[in-house]
Structure 1
Amino acid sequence: MLWHIAITLGIVQGIGEFLPISSSAHLILTRWFFDWDPIIKYLGENTDIVLDVALHVGTLLAVLIYFFRDWLQLLTHGLSKGIKTQEGKMFWYLVAATIPGGIAGLALESVIEHFIRSQILVIAAGLAIMGIVLYYVDKKADQIVGFEEITFKQAMLIGIAQALALIPGVSRSGITMTIGRLLGFTREAAAKFSFLLATPIIAGAALKQTPGIIHNIANPLFLVGTITSAIVGLISISFLLKYLQKHNFTIFAIYRLAIAALTIIVYTIRGA
């Protein structure tokens, strides 16, 4: 049984999904660094699917649990009062901002999956470039827009930018937080909006795998991956929201550049 792989990937997913470092890039690179793909495939064609579904379900649980009260208010106001309240407005802003990413995902998923995800140097480039952009934007941008002051236009701009997260290395949380900071959001507001916007996207990815969830709900590997990514995801969300109250995004930019450099070095040494 792949306990160590399920736990490791659960930790990577739980951290990478919510910190601006790209979970998809780290999942791909972790399996590549340790050459785990042959092992996973050897145990069966559905093992890869089981792990993928488990990781998505875990991070969905994390964001739903952490923001349960927020989502309860957003749903209640949005469905009963429309845009007459701040919570109602935010609910429909999030719904609208999810659409561009959803359309892009449906249209480009096959191309991304079969061509870009296997390009290690492209992933390294994405990590490095977004690291530089995140650092520069965060350093130069003002902090004048609180979470309650976000407008529909700003929400849509972030939603459109979210489509770029299909490219491994860009990072969904990374691009949405970067655009939020570019628009003058406070760091906490950029992070919170990013996390709430992640909920329907992660939910969509999980729901798409509903047959796999039903089929593997009692699979020990599925349970280990789900529980690990959920617990680590909760810790990551809590950490980042508290961290950004007193710190900036510089450490994440440096980390992205370091991982990109390490990836290029390993790729060069392997000659592949």
Structure 2
Amino acid sequence: MDWLQILVLSLIQGLTEFLPVSSSAHLILVPVLTDWPDQGLAFDVALHVGSLTAVVLYFRDELLRMIGSWCRSVTGKGTDEDARLAWWVIIATIPVGIAGLLLQDFLETAARSPLIMVFGLIFFGVVLGIADWRCRGKRSEYRMTWKDALWIGCAQALALIPGTSRSGITMTMALLLGLSREASARFSFLLSIPVIVLAGGLEGVELANTGVDVDWGNLALGALLSAISAYLCIHYFLAFIKRIGMQPFVVYRVLLGLALLWLFA
């Protein structure tokens, strides 16, 4: 891999992991627009490590409070808002884990169709636009209930369909349930942590079983660039949606979907 491929793939991973625009749709464009070789599983794992590092660092204070309060709650020492938020993240993660196990064969074959990806981009993009326009409320992530978490978790399972966008669909459901824009995004980002751990862990196990040699320098650079771009993305996205909202991302999704349709139809 040359430095340009490392830079482009790292930025795509770091930005699209958290923006509501679908990372899978962007990654499918890379081999179409370039003649680069496949980056390999090891590099994918490194990019996931970078994204995970960014979101953990950004929410480090909240995570420390959540973990401490959650540990106290399971030992019977009381439950506060931080413990509840930790439980809601756990509950919201369960549906995507079950769906991934049950639909693995389908997701590896039929769901990889470019037309399905186009549908996911455009349809769920429009739904995001409607939710942001009509349904956003004022509740924070600390005012969620377990039912809210379960609904958001079920919505997250839809992100297994390429083009849907994990962050996009979870923010959409949160908005529909009456959370504010910032709360919807913050909970989506917190929810990404166990999902990235699960996805990266599975890739890591698969990589270990292959026994291939890796270029540790490229992996370290990719992880670093992914982490930096993801951290900046989270920071500026939260400020951006507070002032402007989701509509620019809706327009972008529709245009990207139409571009993919033109390329693959």
TM-score by length of 1: 0.89
For residue 14 of structure 1, what is the aligned residue in structure 2? 14
Matches of 1:142 and 1:67, distance apart in 2: 23
Note the C-alpha offset of 1:66. Answer: 0.8
Residue 46 of structure 2: which of 37, 42, 54 is its match?
A: 54
- Pair 137,254 (structure 1): closer, same or farther in 2 beyond 3 Å: same
* Paired letter, 2:67: L
Q: Distance in 2 between matches of 1:14 and 1:109?
A: 25
Change (3 A) 1:74 1:236: same
8 Å Cα contact 1:216/1:222 also seen in 2:
no
Question: What percent of counterpart residues are identical?
Answer: 38
Instruction: Determine if the alignment matches structure 1 residue 128 to structure 2 residue 122.
Output: yes
1:113 to 108, 122, 127: 108
Rounded Cα–Cα distance in structure 1 between residues aligned with 2:239 and 2:213? 35
**3-state SS of 1:91 partner:** helix
Corresponding residue for residue 104 of structure 1 = 99
Q: Secondary structure at the match of 2:103?
A: helix
Partners of 1:109 and 1:166 within 8 A in 2: no
Letter in 2 for 1:144: K
Q: Contact 2:170–2:184 at 8 Å: present in 1 too? A: yes
Corresponding residue for 1:267?
264
Of 87, 90, 111 in structure 1, the residue corresponding to residue 82 of structure 2 is 87
* Count, aligned residues: 259
Residue 223 (structure 2) aligns with: 226
1:159 equivalent among 142, 153, 158: 153
| Aligned residue type for 2:250 | A
Report the equivalent of 2:234. 237
Matched to 2:83, the amino acid is: G
Q: Deviations over 1:28-75 (max 9, x none)?
A: 222333243xx22xxxxxx52122212211111111111111111101
User: What is the CA distance between 1:146 and its match in structure 2?
Assistant: 1.6
- Tell me the C-alpha RMSD between the 2 structures: 1.9
| Preserved contact between residue 101 and residue 160 of structure 1 (Cα < 8 Å) | yes
State which drifts further: 99-108 or 185-194: 99-108
Unaligned residue ranges in structure 1 (runs of 5+) = 41-46
Encode CA deviations 1:97-138: one digit per residue, 9 max, x unaligned: 111111112222332123322x22221221111111111111
Structure 1 residues 82-91 or 169-178, which shifts more?
A: 82-91
Distance 1:3 1:120 in 2: 28
User: Tell me, which stretches of 5 or more residues in structure 2 are unaligned?
Assistant: none
CA apart distance, 1:240: 1.0
Paired residue for 1:246? 243
1:44 aligns with none
Matched, 1:257 2:247: no
Q: Is the 8 A contact 1:112 1:166 kept in 2?
A: yes
Aligned ranges 1:188-227 → 2 under 5 Å: 188-211=182-205, 212=207, 219-227=216-224
Q: In structure 2, do the counterparts of structure 1 residues 196 and 161 end up closer, same or farther at CA, with 3 Å as the change threshold? A: same
Aligned to 1:138: 132
The alpha carbon displacement at 1:148 in A equals 1.7
Structure 2 equivalent of residue 185 of structure 1: 179
